[in-house]
Amino acid sequence: MRVLVTGASGFIGSAICSRLASGNNVIGVDKVSAASQKNFVSEQTDLTDFNSAIAICKKYSPDVVIHCAGIAHQKIGVVDSATYMRVNSEATENLAKAAAKSNPGVCFVFFSSVSVYGEHPQITQISQIKRTKANNDNTVDEDGECRPSSDYAVSKLDAERRLIALYDGGKLHNLVILRLAPVYDRYWSLNLDRRVFAPKKLAYLRFGSGSQKMSALARPNLIDFIEFLLQEHGQKDYQNLRILNVCDAEAYQFNKIIKVFTKSGTHPDRPVISVPLSPVWFITRIAGIFFPNKKKWIHSCYDKLAYDLVFDNGRMMGTGFAPVHSLETIFDSQMSHAQAQRR
């Protein structure tokens, strides 16, 4: 298949291009150029320009578009809401229109985020939260109410709604929206570090009891799932819309993250300092007073540390895909090497 991957030089996009180039014709699109190789063509272009999106789709008429490109969540004040919306939402809609025009049967895969639900699932209606029998966790499924608290999350949800409108209007016939849990890999774990490290990684911080759980997504699991979806797409000729939470098989306690990191060899062995949650709550409330325009996002920072953020991956598992990677397999050097050998 002809597979167009945006954000091809990024953390996720580069790994997707590398994997899919074996057996597919991959077109990697990014603002930064990359060396072309067998079954892989690099195109340097800015997809926020609608004419550029039209030109690249007309040139290659892709069977599948995997849209990884976008502005990731940045520190407060670094990127304004208009820029998030233009890059993450408007450009996504324009690319989907261009891809569908060049190939009406295109499968459009959009990388969204679990952040569209917000950072405090406990406030959603109980009918939208499932209590799983396996681990008795409160988990949020794809039908849960979306209450994004950051400009980044708002832009991702807006992009979803634009794509669904194209699907409902008959302009896009095969749409897959993947709501990704925080992604990590052995040598890039910022999304996990933020939950357990003090500034400059001087110590591990155990907030409250440390038993809070979070869903996360090993990058190899995501790449495996993308490959699985493409194989499925190649075997079936159907038109549909799917929205899927994508995360590892199980959620992780903060205590477990600290334990795995200290034994990983990639993270420093530091003392563990227990931090009560009450002063964290107080600090975020005071900060919200000084930055009223960002109060909702600042308050969500406390929620990320104080509450479980566990997302139901039942729909993903229902496709027949089973994630094989976990914190242990990624950060344990011997297990990582053994899995690499098996692949």
Domain total in the chain: 1
d(CA 330, CA 343): 14
- pLDDT per residue of the chain (343 residues) written in tens, 0 to 9: 999 999 999 999 999 999 999 889 999 999 887 766 778 999 999 999 999 999 999 999 999 999 999 998 766 667 889 999 999 999 999 999 999 999 999 999 999 999 999 876 544 433 333 433 334 457 899 998 999 988 999 999 999 999 999 999 999 999 999 999 999 999 999 999 999 999 999 999 999 999 999 999 999 999 999 999 998 876 665 569 999 999 999 999 999 999 999 999 999 999 999 999 999 999 999 999 998 888 888 888 898 899 999 999 999 999 999 999 999 999 986 455 445 444 4
Which CATH number fits the domain that encloses residue 162? 3.40.50.720
Helix boundaries (H) for 169-319: 190-196, 219-235, 254-262, 277-290, 295-306, 314-318
Q: In the prediction, which pLDDT does 332 show?
A: 84
Cβ-contact 115, 75 below 8 angstroms: no
Residue 199 burial (CB < 10 Å; 0-12/13-18/19+)? exposed
Q: How high is the pLDDT of residue 239?
A: 63
* Closest by CA position to 173, among listed 93, 244, 240: 240
Name the residue range of residue 47's domain.
2-342
SS3 of residue 266 by DSSP: coil
3-state class of 161 per DSSP?
helix
Q: Of the candidates 340, 338, 183, 196, which has an alpha carbon nearest to the alpha carbon of residue 267?
A: 196
**Distance, CA of 195 to CA of 198 (rounded, Å):** 9
Q: How far apart are alpha carbons 119 and 125 in whole angstroms?
A: 14
Residue 77: predicted pLDDT: 63
Q: What is the pTM (predicted TM-score) of this model?
A: 0.90
pLDDT at 62: 97
- Cα dihedral sign, 324-327-330-334: negative
Q: Which of 312, 313, 309, 311 is CA-nearest to residue 300? A: 309
User: What's the rounded Cα separation, in Å, for the pair 336 and 200?
Assistant: 26
